[in-house]
Chains A and B, each alone.
Chain A
């Protein structure tokens, strides 16, 4: 593990305590951030899991995590964040004005067949942005498999350092997320506007990518050509 352990100012909230959520919590703790994590179950139901898998993170409710965190990562199944019946499951009010990182993907095996999430002309992160009016949405951490994420953190300058691509319409929010990615042990590659994140989605060139920053830029260039 890398040695970026000086205490950080920003508090990270993570909604989702599954494979991805617990890996991100572990990385953020290792990087010195205070971490709040929530699942769809009561905090007590995930306390042991968090104590073992992301020791130092605080298990809480989704609305509390969203309310107290400066940066909130969505790491729950997309189909639960944007349910078919339209019932609001995300703490929309608490997330207003916050930087929200969308690490989710449409995954038919979990989400079921959802034509509303699979249109060719709009990314799932744009749908999430629409559902979160007032949030500063950035797409990141969605393209790398959770075990690569778990094993891949390296200090800046390490020749084996991998990159995490991000996209978002709020330039200042992108910069904050880029710094977070760097702190967690990866090189950030800012692709620009949220819609540019299409290349990161399942079925596209960068989905599953566990690559360096220059390799990611090459793939993006080739995809655009």
Chain B
């Protein structure tokens, strides 16, 4: 288990400033860049930003944010988490990430997903009822674009391509590409079919529950004759000096976000007891560095994961608390997890 990679992931949630007001979208984006710069200095391996199209989140264009981060960092890999491929154009996605790859000297990575939000569909003129077809066709086209050779393709979801060559080319000839999956078995099988690494979005319940999905991924890869890569997992969390401090800071800000999203989905407001249960037994890594490290190590070992990305921002959590969580993750949590798993 020596080669586990650790990442941080954010959707650019609108934080409170140090005076307690909500940051603007622009401030929120600049703050994410500052957090990424710190993460790079601390030696964290990956920084991922996810696409949303809602007022609570500032990042709708992950690769533009990554481009900003690229020129201010040295080592950290720059990832999306996720790029909603279904409502995007695979050719443009490739071009934008190949550009980030150039700016970052080969550190760009894309995580493709279907997305658990739907705002991008009407925004870009897609019909939710084509959800499956859109992803199926576009991932197929994207996998061909990754060869970086001229592509001929036709389908129902975009204009056909005839021997189309797409630029810029990457220097390595290989744009790192993952697929993010939230629990649909069909998506796991599809990821294996294309031989992409699998990033499991585990945002509730015990991580053990996902062990069958890692088996499914490996067995499907075997059946398709593709490579089963080490799986990644991404889950939410927050780190402060002590367990109590982490929970006290995090819960009210998390609750604002969770209840707003939950109301759209018909869920009742989240209770403190549900939160405590999720922190204790589920997939919320909230607490002191020791607590978070212990729970992360256990989840990583259970799933045999090769990568763990922590979604460190939730709701309106203040900027300075977020920055400290990034620092504690890099300076204490990651070394502790490595020690535990060594």
Binding site for B on A (CB under 8 A): 17-19, 22, 39, 41, 46, 48-49, 51-53, 79, 105, 107-112, 145-148, 150-151, 201-205, 207-209
- Taking the nearest CB of chain A, how far is it from the CB of B218, in angstroms? 9
Given known pairs A52-B215, A53-B212, the reply for A110 and B266 (CB within 8 Å) is: no
Main secondary structure of the interface of B (DSSP, over half): helix
Q: Is B150 an interface residue (CB 8 A)?
A: no
Binds A, one of B20-28, B76-84, B201-209: B201-209
Given known pairs A48-B220, A49-B216, A151-B205, the reply for A208 and B268 (CB within 8 Å) is: yes
A203 to B189, CA, bound (A): 33
Chain A residue at minimal CB-CB distance from B212: A53
A39 to B132, CA, bound (A): 14
Chain B residue at minimal CB-CB distance from A145: B204
Q: Which residues of B contact A46 (CB under 8 A)?
A: 185-186
Contact assessment for B220 and A208 in the assembled complex, using a CB-CB cutoff below 8 Å = no
Contact assessment for B265 and A109 in the assembled complex, using a CB-CB cutoff below 8 Å = yes
Q: Is B173 an interface residue (CB 8 A)?
A: no
Chain A residue at minimal CB-CB distance from B217: A52
Contact assessment for B216 and A48 in the assembled complex, using a CB-CB cutoff below 8 Å = yes
Given known pairs A151-B205, A203-B266, the reply for A52 and B128 (CB within 8 Å) is: no
Choice from B116, B118, B129, B219 contacting A52 with Cβ under 8 Å: B219
- Taking the nearest CB of chain A, how far is it from the CB of B270, in angstroms? 9
Contact assessment for A151 and B209 in the assembled complex, using a CB-CB cutoff below 8 Å = yes
Q: Which residues of B contact A148 (CB under 8 A)?
A: 205
Count of interface residues, chain B, beta-carbon cutoff 8 Å:
28
* 5 tightest A-B CB contacts, nearest first: A202-B266, A147-B205, A203-B266, A112-B128, A52-B216
Q: List 21 A-B contacts (CB under 8 A).
A: A17-B185, A39-B186, A48-B219, A48-B220, A49-B185, A49-B186, A51-B219, A52-B216, A53-B213, A109-B116, A109-B117, A109-B118, A109-B128, A109-B265, A111-B128, A145-B204, A146-B183, A147-B205, A147-B209, A203-B266, A207-B267
For residues 161 through 192 of chain B, which have their beta carbon under 8 Å from a beta carbon of chain A? 183-186, 188-189
Given known pairs A112-B128, A147-B209, A151-B209, the reply for A18 and B184 (CB within 8 Å) is: yes
- Taking the nearest CB of chain A, how far is it from the CB of B127, in angstroms? 7
Q: Which residues of A contact B205 (CB under 8 A)?
A: 145, 147-148, 150-151
Binding site for A on B (CB under 8 A): 116-118, 127-129, 131, 183-186, 188-189, 204-206, 209, 212-213, 215-216, 219-220, 223, 265-268
Chain B residue at minimal CB-CB distance from A80: B129
A41 to B136, CA, bound (A): 14
Q: Which residues of A contact B184 (CB under 8 A)?
A: 18-19
A111 to B128, CA, bound (A): 7
- Taking the nearest CB of chain B, how far is it from the CB of A223, in angstroms? 11
- Taking the nearest CB of chain B, how far is it from the CB of A111, in angstroms? 8
A109 to B116, CA, bound (A): 8
A204 to B204, CA, bound (A): 21
Contact assessment for B186 and A18 in the assembled complex, using a CB-CB cutoff below 8 Å = yes
Contact assessment for A52 and B212 in the assembled complex, using a CB-CB cutoff below 8 Å = yes
A103 to B223, CA, bound (A): 32
A166 to B189, CA, bound (A): 33
Choice from A22, A112, A146 contacting B127 with Cβ under 8 Å: A112
Q: Which of A108, A145, A147, A205 is packed against the most chain B CB atoms within 10 Å?
A: A147
- Taking the nearest CB of chain B, how far is it from the CB of A15, in angstroms? 15
Given known pairs A19-B184, A151-B206, the reply for A48 and B268 (CB within 8 Å) is: no
Contact assessment for B204 and A147 in the assembled complex, using a CB-CB cutoff below 8 Å = yes
Given known pairs A53-B216, A109-B118, the reply for A48 and B189 (CB within 8 Å) is: yes
Given known pairs A48-B223, A145-B204, A208-B267, the reply for A112 and B185 (CB within 8 Å) is: no
Q: Which residues of A contact B212 (CB under 8 A)?
A: 52-53
A49 to B205, CA, bound (A): 21
A166 to B127, CA, bound (A): 33
A107 to B117, CA, bound (A): 12
